[in-house]
Amino acid sequence: MHVEPIFRDRIHAGRTLAERVKSAVRDSNCLVLALPRGGVPVAFEVARTLPAELDIFLVRKLGLPGQEELAIGAIASGGVRVLNEALVQELQLSRNLIDQITEREERELKRREELYREGRRASPVRDRTIILVDDGLATGATMKAASRALRVQEPKSIIVAVPVAAKQSCDEFRMEVDDVICASTPAPFMAVGIWYEDFSQTTDEEVRHLLKLAERHSVSGYD
């Protein structure tokens, strides 16, 4: 089945999403949190448009060994783990195997946190409107882990914002967070990447560059 991409790349997607977010969010004390890596270029455009502070929120998908794209759950900063219990039962996965996968991803989560932050402290979340951004929403396991981990930090509200999503995932998320902004919900959805002309992997260096750029602009203002 041939589909026509909606976005040229993540920058284009971010600018499209940013206009939707700007019209919906009125709070001047916003914090835009990106899910690395792909969510960072998208979130950068949202933060620049509002304008608002930008930071990252680390989440790692728990992929099934040998079929890593099949998410059995996800982990996030703060020690939160969300499992797709129905899938775990269907595949008859042992807790020992799940714990092994979790430990491996926790090591990678810690590595990325150190790499991306470069000594910078995480932005405070308490009593702020949080706009949680990724480049798309398929099953929602990763975003669910992020939103639940954020709730522990007592934000004023959590808004999930993505350029493209499965309509069912968007609808289900309205029970998880305070608001959901999906710029496009094509059907059938299939996968996030097919709606981008360029869905090449965002590099660690790009993430670090955009975070530094956002930090400088938060002081001097965006162009």
- The pTM score is 0.85
Summarize the confidence of residues 7-18 as an average pLDDT. 98
In contact, 88 and 72? CB cutoff 8 Å:
yes
Q: Lowest mean pLDDT: which of 20-24, 50-54, 146-150? A: 146-150
Q: Are 43 and 113 in contact (CB under 8 A)?
A: no
For the cut 90, the answer to whether the pLDDT of residue 135 exceeds it is yes
pLDDT exceeds 70 at position 221: no
Tell me the per-residue pLDDT of 46-77, one tens digit each, with 9 for 90 and over: 999 999 999 999 988 899 988 887 888 888 87
Joined together, the tokens standing for residue 147 give 């939103």
* pLDDT (mean) for 184-205: 95
- Which range, of 10-24, 43-57, 145-159, averages the lowest pLDDT? 145-159
Ordered by start, the domain boundaries in the chain are 10-217
pLDDT of residue 220: 47
Query: HSE (CB half, 13 Å, CA atoms) of 107?
Result: 5
pLDDT of residue 219 exceeding 50: no
CATH match of 10-217 with 3.40.630.70: no
What sign does the dihedral 89-94-96-102 (CA atoms) show?
Answer: negative
pLDDT confidence of residue 1 = 63
